[in-house]
Amino acid sequence: MSSSQDPDKSTKSIAPYSKEGHREELVDHYWGSINYVFSLIRASEIKAGLILSFYGILLNLIYQNVEMLLAEASDRVLIYIPLALWVLSTVGSIYFSIRCFMPRMETKFDKNIFFFQDVITKYGSINEFSKTFYNISLNEVELFDQLGQQIYINSKIAAMKFKSVNKSIYLLAVGLFFLFIIAVWYLVLHL
């Protein structure tokens, strides 16, 4: 390597700075971030929906065979422990799955032109909102501030939803473990 080449410099050429091009990239970056967070929110809700669907199928199967299980368990009190633990973990898992769908409104933040509740409650009439939206859209600093705040709020919502889904999945696994113990107990009795 010759002394005139600097190893820290990239060999790629960098396009000259264009304020207009950079502004478009920023807009795409902000809206891309918002869309990414929305996709995370949707993914958490899909997972919660799948968990609830699984419970619907499982509880239907159990309901169809509950009389047989209770007849077998009536003289064996020890089986009530894993059965009670299964019921508790199942109820907890269903609760956290449903909680994922429950909207949580954060009202302690500044008003935001991209938050639907603020649009109808904090910006006046339709004409007043339209003018405010237009004026903020013309002011890059304020526009990007509003978009950044919305990314933060949506990320907070996504984090809460995933926390609920993770708890639901954990309790689902615990419940399946106790259901497995009950199934093994039942099979051992009938072999």
Domain ranges for the chain: 23-189
Q: Is the dihedral angle over the CA atoms 92, 93, 98, 104 positive or is it negative?
A: positive
Each residue's pLDDT tens digit, 124-151 = 999 999 999 999 989 988 999 999 999 9
Mean pLDDT check: name the lowest of 116-125, 143-152, 182-191.
182-191
Q: What is the structure's pLDDT at 74?
A: 67
The secondary structure of the chain in percent helix, strand, coil, rounded to multiples of 5, reads 80, 0, 20
Each residue's pLDDT tens digit, 42-94 = 999 999 999 999 999 999 988 887 777 777 666 777 888 898 999 999 999 99
- pLDDT-derived band of residue 19, with 50, 70 and 90 as boundaries? low
- pLDDT-derived band of residue 162, with 50, 70 and 90 as boundaries? very high
Is 61:150 a contact under the CB 8 Å cutoff? no
